[in-house]
Structure 1
Amino acid sequence: MRDELRQSVESKVEELVALTRDLIAFPTINPPGEAYRPCAEFIGERLKRKGFQVEYVRGESTPGDSDRYPRINVICRYEGRGPGPCVHFNSHIDVVEVGYGWTVDPFAGVVKDGKVFGRGACDMKGGLASSIIAAESLIECFPEFYGAIEISGTVDEESGGLGGVAYLARHGYFSKPRVDHVIIPEPLHKDQVCLGHRGVWWSEIETRGSIAHGSMPFLGDSAIRHMGAFLNVLEDELYPALSKKQTQMPVIPPGARSSTLNINSLHGGQDERHDGLPSPCVADSCRIVLDRRFLIEEPLEDVKQEIVEILENLRKTRRNFEYELKDLLEVLPVMADKDSPVARAVADGIKDVLQKDASYVVSPGTYDQKHITRLGHLHDCIAYGPGKLEMAHRPDEFVGIEDLVDSAKVMALAAYSLLTEPDASPITRTQSDHVHS
């Protein structure tokens, strides 16, 4: 059966490439959430023809959801011969903005040099295509299996997943008894099993000042200069301290085994999005968005307190320093046990296909495992898929065709094992069983 599965996937190489290109052609850019519905319907219509039951679920009233940009998710389920476990392949269909620096059309799915290029090729429409081909091959080769196979195309992962997997998890789509095992085909390299991810805290800080004529700044109070004082402390004190914090989690790349802080955006003063010159004013507001990635060894309360202490010290020592701090998103680190059923099944598939032992890694950024684990309370969940993590969100993003094929074989073999071998109770290590959003 394993030989037959591998051969079935191998016979579908052209179909796999074509499917990847078709998915890339949908410009599902988030934000704002373009082309979600047609992309979801494309997936649903294909799988309906293969015998799947198809359901479309809108993430109503979630951030960004509107009649113009509805958060449409698709969940497709194929029932086997009788009762048994359910293996679910979950992929997000949204992609980030294109950005500058492309040498090919980002939505043409250009094929050259053994690769498929396009926005989302790596992250993660290639993985979605591989999981579809894997599931279809398994059904063709082993139609009498017991249990069920599910494939979902979900939205908004790039902006936190609240309209996608989080919404579905709250409504029972990622919980037992409906689902037992989840594979998320994120691009973490075809020879690696990703057990989880670091934590994240997104926050916004606003410093305030007093508006005045730009020719007489001494009559006002610049919020930008107040923010500059905060940035100086980050550079001089916090960044060096974060670089010294190390984790035992096998995070890739190695640089992400330290705590990190990224400044997502910074804006002060007047809005530049207009024609003509600005009026001469002292800035009375400056806002910054921080992206703090933290380790499983760090309590979230300590992560927040680092920033609060800096701000409070500036309030005490800097004249007229005032600020407001807002929480935007909180996600705790999560890491599944490498001996859980789904991790073992994928590792066995890697050994079978690639003739090498799998390595176990943790992602530097979060993905939808966080919602499945904490909202769905389903712990047998890992990430595995084609593509190089370093290509995600970059210009000329690509996925290798050989990687697509090998990953599809691994996923097919893993699903076969999970549907035919005795189950075991997985264990997941987390800081808690709760997610904030």
Structure 2
Amino acid sequence: FSSPRVDHVIIPEPLNVDRVCIGHRGVWWAEIETLGRIAHGSMPFLGDCAIRHMGALIARIERDLIPKLQKKTTNMPVVPKPANASTLNFNSLHGGQEETQGDSLPAPCVPDSARLVIDRRFLIEEELSEVKRELHEILQELQHARPEFRYKIRDLLEVSPVRIDEDDPVAKATANGILAVLGKPAEFVCSPGTYDQKHIDRIGRLKSCIAYGPGILELAHQPDEYVEIDDMLAAAKVMAFAAYELLTGKT
């Protein structure tokens, strides 16, 4: 994905048929493991419960970090509106014995490990080093506040925010297609989540890249996600219009 083989890229994404997506927020995924000491469940005082340590971490994130993130906002046109701020999601949580099948009970043990995966979405105005530092500070404070608090943290994914100008050729051509097909001006937006523009930008070194396509953004990854057939047909016409304009220079 680089010139001269490729000049422009349109990535189909469900961002609404009248929108041109010119970028996305950044993301940091990390796995945090709190460590304990195993013991018999009837004598928890002989062990050290990793899940209780994890509970303390989650409580601190809820109390201190998430309200702080909600106050950080961006100048990027991120949609929907609440995604205009930094966010943190608890993606998954595992601790203690593995779940059993049927009617059997797990072994009665104090858990010596609990693992939390976080999904931190950050803004183009934020530095990744600062994003990580906010969480590391909480972990270090818990080490001082809680006896035997021990943890490991592992980076899973790092993606920087990206954005191109509204007057980039592929963005303009797609906006012209929306006006021609739908009869209304395009809305230029940025995505709350990442998509393949990060690879086009980072690996291909190609900046002229957008996301466009039918679908309702707020339904992404939900069980009732769908695309209207009329919107799919309209989006195909818009992309055909954009391709024709980019290839011929004619509108």
Instruction: Answer yes or no: is 1:406 the counterpart of 2:234.
Output: yes
Match of residue 361, structure 1, among 189, 197, 204: 189
Residue 237 of structure 1 aligns with an amino acid whose one-letter code is D
Secondary structure of the residue aligned to 2:156 is strand
Residue 202 of structure 1 aligns with an amino acid whose one-letter code is W
Trace 1:1-40 onto structure 2 (pairs within 5 A): none
Instruction: Answer yes or no: is 1:181 the counterpart of 2:8.
Output: yes
Could you tell me how far 1:316 is from its partner in structure 2? 1.4
Residue 226 of structure 2 aligns with an amino acid whose one-letter code is F
Match of residue 190, structure 1, among 8, 11, 17: 17
The RMSD of aligned alpha carbons is 1.0
Trace 1:418-433 onto structure 2 (pairs within 5 A): 418-421=246-249
Query: In structure 1, how many angstroms separate the alpha carbons of the residues matched to 2:199 and 2:122?
Result: 17
Query: In structure 1, how many angstroms separate the alpha carbons of the residues matched to 2:19 and 2:100?
Result: 44
Aligned residue for 1:23? none
Match of residue 252, structure 1, among 58, 63, 79: 79
Secondary structure of the residue aligned to 2:68 is helix
Trace 1:392-403 onto structure 2 (pairs within 5 A): 392-403=220-231
Aligned residue for 2:140? 312
Match of residue 174, structure 2, among 333, 346, 356: 346
Aligned residue for 1:287? 115
Could you tell me how far 1:391 is from its partner in structure 2? 2.1
Residue 44 of structure 2 aligns with an amino acid whose one-letter code is P
Residue 402 of structure 1 aligns with an amino acid whose one-letter code is D
Residue 277 of structure 1 aligns with an amino acid whose one-letter code is L
Q: Deviations over 1:383-436 (max 9, x none)?
A: 0111111222112321101101111111111000000118xxxxxxxxxxxxxx
Instruction: Answer yes or no: is 1:226 the counterpart of 2:53.
Output: yes
Aligned residue for 2:217? 389
Greater relative contact order, per chain length (Cα 8 Å cut-off, separation 6+): 2
Instruction: Answer yes or no: is 1:303 the counterpart of 2:131.
Output: yes
Query: In structure 2, how many angstroms separate the alpha carbons of the residues matched to 1:396 and 1:188?
Result: 16
Secondary structure of the residue aligned to 2:227 is strand
Identity, % of aligned positions: 65
Comparing 229-238 with 268-277, which one deviates more in the overlay?
268-277
Residue 215 of structure 1 aligns with an amino acid whose one-letter code is S
Query: In structure 1, how many angstroms separate the alpha carbons of the residues matched to 2:107 and 2:136?
Result: 34
Trace 1:144-293 onto structure 2 (pairs within 5 A): 174-275=1-102, 276-293=104-121
Q: Deviations over 1:247-268 (max 9, x none)?
A: 1110000010010000011111
Secondary structure of the residue aligned to 2:118 is strand
Match of residue 378, structure 1, among 186, 206, 209: 206
Query: In structure 2, how many angstroms separate the alpha carbons of the residues matched to 1:398 and 1:251?
Result: 22
Could you tell me how far 1:177 is from its partner in structure 2? 1.4
Residue 219 of structure 1 aligns with an amino acid whose one-letter code is L
Secondary structure of the residue aligned to 1:399 is coil
Q: Contact 2:77–2:189 at 8 Å: present in 1 too? A: yes
User: Runs of 5+ in structure 2 lacking a partner?
Assistant: none
Query: In structure 2, how many angstroms separate the alpha carbons of the residues matched to 1:397 and 1:228?
Result: 33
Aligned residue for 2:244? 416
Query: In structure 2, how many angstroms separate the alpha carbons of the residues matched to 1:209 and 1:399?
Result: 47
Q: Deviations over 1:292-339 (max 9, x none)?
A: 000000000000000100001111121000000100000000011111
Instruction: Answer yes or no: is 1:333 the counterpart of 2:157.
Output: no
Residue 378 of structure 1 aligns with an amino acid whose one-letter code is L
Residue 367 of structure 1 aligns with an amino acid whose one-letter code is Y
Query: In structure 2, how many angstroms separate the alpha carbons of the residues matched to 1:193 and 1:373?
Result: 17
Q: Would you say how many aligned residue pairs link Structure 1 and Structure 2?
A: 249
Could you tell me how far 1:273 is from its partner in structure 2? 4.1
Residue 154 of structure 2 aligns with an amino acid whose one-letter code is K
Query: In structure 2, how many angstroms separate the alpha carbons of the residues matched to 1:186 and 1:356?
Result: 20
TM-score of the aligned structures, taking structure 2 as reference length:
0.97
Q: Contact 2:100–2:106 at 8 Å: present in 1 too? A: no
Q: Which runs of 4+ in 1 moved over 2 A?
A: none
Q: Deviations over 1:213-258 (max 9, x none)?
A: 1111000000000111111101110111011111111000001001
Could you tell me how far 1:274 is from its partner in structure 2? 3.6
